[in-house]
Amino acid sequence: MASLSKSYLDLVNDCDRYLMHTSEQLKLLTIYSSLPYDEPLQAPREHWSTLYRFFLPEDSRPHGLMLPEIVKKMPWTSDFHVDHTARAVHLKPEDTTSDLSTSCTNAFSKLIQRSIDQDNFIVIHKRHSEHYPIVGYKHPVKFERYAGNLFGFVSRGAHLTVHSNTKDGMKIWVPRRSAHLFTYPNCLDTTVAGGVPAGEGPFECIVREADEEASLAEDLVRREAKACGCITYVGLTDPRGNGEQGLLSSDLIYVYDLELPEGVGCRQNDDEVKEFHLMSIEEVKQGLRAGEFKTNSALVMIDFFIRHGIIKSEEEKHYTEIMARLHRKLPLPTAAE
């Protein structure tokens, strides 16, 4: 187990990393590490001159940020145009007989299939995944989940923190991820969490995942779960996530709380969860300090601690920075024009 050394700000830095000095390939200068709302596409050119912007039809705004080595390795089809001078990739579907949503979705499908056939990328190594929407785009275009970070798209997730009041105070239901998982095996996690697929809203995702992962009844979740806003961050993929390293990951996570009535608990119900523990606040703090939590789940727990008065501004010297970093302005669209 890692030494008990991580502060709350360290945990934020582990996840919200795109302004941190981590990699020559991104040329992210530390001078901007204190500006959590810096927008890369409006920052000095040298900061982002290596990145390629990804554009979709009928929208002047970029919806993805790609590393040059990914652009080079991607087996582009004729539906895509790469402009190396402007460092831009444009999706221009050749199929003009279908509606734009269908033709763009099909273009992504063909490209991902070619990537799988050629085994170009670790993150989609010979495997397909569920469809996600492109956040902020006016047309319902879908792409395969595992490929999202290759394009630098915004990703949507939903996390539910389940807690119980006991004679010893508040305790939190914390699962340990199974050892066979591709990302963050054996790490502690949010009680219930999942990506929000195309055609599903964040709350419906929570209802479904609560049953699949924690054996929580649908009527209980619908009645008692409370929406508590969202957190946003821009990360870089790391070794515990497996796959290609240093990919930009702009994430939007909807957070929910659920207090269970006495006598009701969480039980493992699929192979993604190894086991559940009802942990005291101090035990959760120890897991955070030890770096045992999945990186974005640590942020969800910090947000929970702030909302429930466990982390107080009077006691945490980095309180203001942590609050800002949990709710940063993403560098890509989150709403359609």
| pLDDT one-digit tens code per residue, 13-54 | 999 887 543 343 334 333 233 333 445 444 434 445 689 999
Which pLDDT score, from 0 to 100, does residue 245 have? Answer: 81
User: Cβ atoms within 10 A of the Cβ of 145, count?
Assistant: 18
CB neighbours (10 Å) of residue 31? 11
Find the mean pLDDT for residues 76-100. Answer: 95
What are the beta bridge partners of residue 62?
55
pLDDT at 2: 46
Is-contact 145 127, C-beta < 8 A?
Answer: no
Query: Does 102 or 248 have the greater pLDDT score?
Result: 102
> Residues for the chain: how many in total?
337
What pLDDT was estimated at residue 45? 41
pLDDT of 34? 34
Model confidence pLDDT, tens digit, residues 278-329:
999 999 999 999 999 999 999 999 999 999 999 999 999 999 999 999 999 8
Query: Is the pLDDT score of 73 beyond 60?
Result: yes
Mean of all residue pLDDT scores within the chain = 88
Mean pLDDT of 71-94: 97
Average pLDDT of the segment spanning 170-186: 90
Express each pLDDT in 288-298 by its tens digit.
999 999 999 99
Do residues 207 and 160 touch, judged by C-beta distance below 8 A? no
304-322 burial by CB neighbour count: b if 16+ within 10 A, else e?
bbbeeeebeeeebeebeeb
Residue 126's pLDDT is 80
The token pair at 273 is 């969860």
Q: CATH 3.90.79.10 occupies which residues in the chain?
A: 8-16+154-326
Q: Judge if pTM exceeds 0.85.
A: yes
| Ordered alpha helix ranges (H), 119-243 | 148-151, 202-214, 218-224
Q: Residue 109: what pLDDT? A: 96
pLDDT of residue 183: 82
DSSP 14-74: HHS-TTSS--TTTT--GGGTT-TT--TTTS-HHHHTTPEEEE-TT--SEEEEE-HHHHHHS
Helix (H, G, I), strand (E, B) or coil at 155: strand
CA atoms of 321 and 113, how far apart (whole Å): 42
> What is the spatial distance between Cα 72 and Cα 126, in angstroms, rounded to a whole number?
19
Tell me: the pLDDT tens digits for 97-142?
889 999 999 999 999 999 999 999 988 888 898 999 999 999 999 9
Using a pLDDT cut of 90, give the percent of the chain over it. 72
pLDDT in the model for residue 29: 32
Query: pLDDT at residue 96 above 90?
Result: no
One of 1.10.357.10, 3.90.1750.10, 3.40.250.10, 3.90.79.10 is the CATH number of 8-16+154-326, namely 3.90.79.10
What does the pLDDT read at residue 26?
39
Residue type at position 6: K
Find the mean pLDDT for residues 75-98: 95
pLDDT-based confidence at 60, cuts 50/70/90? very high
Specify the residue for token string 């974005």: 296
